[in-house]
Structure 1
Amino acid sequence: MTRSFGRGRGALAALGPVDAEIAPGEFVCLVGPSGCGKSTLLRIAAGLLRPSRGELELRATTAHPAAMIFQDYGIHDWKTVLANVRFGLDIQRVPRKEADERARSWLARLGLTDFAGAYPAALSGGMRQRVALARALAVEPEILLMDEPFAALDAQLRTLLQDELLDLTQTTRTTTLFITHSLEEALVLGDRVLVMSARPGRIIAERRPPFGRPRTGEVRATPAFTALKAELWELLRGEVTGPGARRAAPHQGAEGGVPA
């Protein structure tokens, strides 16, 4: 599968060729340099873009198989927290009583019950992202697509939400494709980590973190975690700093991120 923007000689090759498969219930993290096509790939998976060549096949059993969560939350400022979480269910024409019950159930699981009647302007960034996560999970998607959802949060809150997401997805076993610049995040969350090249993005490596399920954030302190993080950074170093990279990045950040 490939994706280009524009036509003729001026066309920009943004992605591919990419050939990958995600198993049902698998949590796959995608890492790579900025501009390599990670978000483009996710938008193709969500049906928001079409590939220029090739195809993407979703083996789903429902009419609304995928839900997407963005870095900027994507929730509606004019709706209450409850109405935001219920939004996807309203689109699916789920009866109001059932929709309210499902929405409130997810609010409770994510610690938002007391804020059901509040508006997003009254919430912190972390709480807004919890609302976005509750809205996505309330529709019971077969596939969860997440585009750097924790990138704008501070380190402590990001770690907390990583652990919450880890717990939730291990319970629901929702198939998840998660884009991140953080190598630590990818290793904590993923069953598999796919490494992409500089633009046009191709998958150049695959690693399976050697941590069983159920997993907790305590894996961050293990020697295996540190070693695999260093290995991933070495795989990415040439892609980030090489001739095709958009900007140089002489060292890895404290959060284990791929420089933007």
Structure 2
Amino acid sequence: MGEPYPKLEAVELTRAFGRTPHTVHALGPLDLTVAEGEFVCVVGPSGCGKSTLLRIAAGLLRPSGGVLRIRDAGARPAAMIFQDYGIYDWKTVRANVRFGLDVQRVPRREADARADDWLARMGLADFAGAYPATLSGGMRQRVAIARALAVEPGLLLMDEPFAALDAQLRTILQDELLELTQALRTTTLFITHSLEEALVLGDRVLVMSARPGRVIAERRPPFPRPRTGEVRTAPEFTALKSELWDLLRKEAAPA
């Protein structure tokens, strides 16, 4: 039998901004589930409410209607990674990675050990005492990933985390994230503009409509786990990418 309850569940979720008569309906009604250990990617045209969905899941925004539940008994039900890194310029790399642990009041020695473990995993050990301003964009995003995963969140929320990086670096970080989340079985909801990224990383890819965003299609990339970035060269990869692109293009076209 499968998981009795999803890790994340949204039912009839809506979000509007502004007041009548200038209300903008940004999202929904949207239904969504993410199972324990599942990596779900969401793609959709600009302005379709993808980031709004993630902000509601992170507790940064309240829904206008419907409900979003995260079922997790841990100290940190969800951790979020943003496109602009969201790390603190005035803290060292180690202090940034330790930040969530400090908030949880993890004892200093244990917090340092966990932070150092993640710095080593992300290839950042030599930069522990450095400040983010001295790092490249790819390094800064590795710091953000280490900080999020150090708190062992029940759910990892990622909002176009690699969008600002060049194509080569983006591919490298996709492959690193693939390896990490497969090893940890981290339940992940990942927002992206990139169909390639979604198909490399996701157990499921959900396509959202133009605003107000609803889920209009779902695909399961036919690549077994553990998978590597080599799936990019598979014929099924190209076929699925063009099928999803046709769907997206229709949504992105002006009405």
TM-score range, shorter chain: over 0.9
SS of 2:140's equivalent in the other structure is: helix
SS of 1:67's equivalent in the other structure is: strand
Q: CA deviation at 1:122?
A: 1.0
Q: Which residue of 2 is the match for residue 192 of structure 1?
A: 204
Question: Which residue identity lines up with residue 238 of structure 2 in the other structure?
Answer: T
Match of 1:7 among 15, 19, 27: 19
Q: Matches of residues 75-224 of structure 1 in structure 2 within 5 Å? A: 75-224=87-236
The percentage of counterpart residues that share the same residue type is: 79
Question: Which residue identity lines up with residue 190 of structure 1 in the other structure?
Answer: G
Question: Which residue identity lines up with residue 129 of structure 1 in the other structure?
Answer: Q
For residues 22 and 122 of structure 2, the distance between their equivalents in structure 1, rounded to whole angstroms, comes to 47
Instruction: Deviation per CA, 1:203-239: give whole Å up to 9, x if none.
Output: 0000000000000000000000000000100111110
Asked whether the equivalents of residues 15 and 65 of structure 2 are also in contact (C-alpha less than 8 Å), the reply is yes
Asked whether the equivalents of residues 27 and 49 of structure 2 are also in contact (C-alpha less than 8 Å), the reply is yes
Q: CA deviation at 1:8?
A: 2.3
For residues 119 and 175 of structure 1, the distance between their equivalents in structure 2, rounded to whole angstroms, comes to 30
For residues 240 and 158 of structure 1, the distance between their equivalents in structure 2, rounded to whole angstroms, comes to 24
| 1:44 equivalent in alignment to 2:66 | no
For residues 235 and 16 of structure 1, the distance between their equivalents in structure 2, rounded to whole angstroms, comes to 18
Q: Unpaired segments of 5 or more residues in structure 2?
A: 1-12
Question: Which residue identity lines up with residue 227 of structure 1 in the other structure?
Answer: A
Q: Which residue of 2 is the match for residue 255 of structure 1?
A: none
Q: Unpaired segments of 5 or more residues in structure 1?
A: 244-260
Instruction: Deviation per CA, 1:90-134: give whole Å up to 9, x if none.
Output: 000000000000000000001000000111111110000000000
For residues 246 and 135 of structure 2, the distance between their equivalents in structure 1, rounded to whole angstroms, comes to 39
Question: Which residue identity lines up with residue 116 of structure 1 in the other structure?
Answer: A
* Structure 2 length-normalised TM: 0.94
* Structure 1 length-normalised TM: 0.93
Q: Which residue of 1 is the match for residue 4 of structure 2?
A: none
Q: CA deviation at 1:7?
A: 2.2
For residues 235 and 122 of structure 1, the distance between their equivalents in structure 2, rounded to whole angstroms, comes to 41
Asked whether the equivalents of residues 16 and 27 of structure 2 are also in contact (C-alpha less than 8 Å), the reply is yes
For residues 53 and 4 of structure 1, the distance between their equivalents in structure 2, rounded to whole angstroms, comes to 9
SS of 1:229's equivalent in the other structure is: helix
Question: Which residue identity lines up with residue 22 of structure 1 in the other structure?
Answer: V
Q: Which residue of 2 is the match for residue 238 of structure 1?
A: 250
Q: CA deviation at 1:63?
A: 3.5
Asked whether the equivalents of residues 204 and 220 of structure 2 are also in contact (C-alpha less than 8 Å), the reply is yes
Asked whether the equivalents of residues 76 and 152 of structure 2 are also in contact (C-alpha less than 8 Å), the reply is no
Question: Which residue identity lines up with residue 157 of structure 2 in the other structure?
Answer: L
| Structure in which a larger fraction of residues adopt strand | 2
SS of 1:178's equivalent in the other structure is: strand
Question: Which residue identity lines up with residue 204 of structure 1 in the other structure?
Answer: I
Deviation beyond 4 Å, 4+ runs, structure 1: none
Q: CA deviation at 1:10?
A: 1.8
Q: Number of residue pairs matched?
A: 243
SS of 1:97's equivalent in the other structure is: helix
